[in-house]
Amino acid sequence: DQQVKQNSPSLSVQEGRISILNCDYTNSMFDYFLWYKKYPAEGPTFLISISSIKDKNEDGRFTVFLNKSAKHLSLHIVPSQPGDSAVYFCAASATNTGNQFYFGTGTSLTVIP
């Protein structure tokens, strides 16, 4: 059973606008969350993370929001740039499971110039 879900397989956004990627999880024990970005023919690269003690983490154009009661997190990219076009994966982990992360199915973002 998929514990981390990304219900939107794809998203298209105009350059300069905001991109919002969503992720839902089912396991209430998850306490650490990451977003990865993946270009074709490359491995995923780490983008931004958030721990469950926070509800927001910001790094430049990227902000991750965590709503623990809804078991939902989102990644905001402002402003979106064509180079942001990639597949984005969210991942979640519970401290008591060591370093095992559970990944979502990915959302393919296309930023239109």
Partner 1 sequence: DVKVTQSSRYLVKRTGEKVFLECVQDMDHENMFWYRQDPGLGLRLIYFSYDVKMKEKGDIPEGYSVSREKKERFSLILESASTNQTSMYLCASSSGDVSQPQHFGDGTRLSIL
Site residues (CB under 8 A) for partner 1? 2, 4, 6, 9, 32, 34, 36, 41-46, 49, 51, 89, 91, 93, 95, 98-106
Shortest distance in whole angstroms from residue 60 CB to partner 1: 16
Shortest separation between residue 80's beta carbon and partner 1, angstroms: 23
CB of 84 to partner 1, least distance (A): 19
- Please answer whether residues 57 and 49 qualify as being in contact, where contact means their C-beta atoms are separated by less than 8 angstroms: yes
29/112 with CB nearer partner 1: 29
Query: Strand runs (DSSP E) across the chain, as ranges?
Result: 4-5, 10-14, 19-25, 32-38, 45-51, 56-59, 62-67, 72-77, 86-93, 102-103, 107-112
Least separation in angstroms between residue 53's CB and partner 1 is 11
Based on CB atoms, which residue is closest to partner 1, 51 or 67? Answer: 51
Identity of the residue, 79 or 103, whose beta carbon is nearer to partner 1 in the bound complex? 103
Token reading at 82: 């064509």
The one-character DSSP state at 83 is G
| Residue 52 in tokens | 């469950």
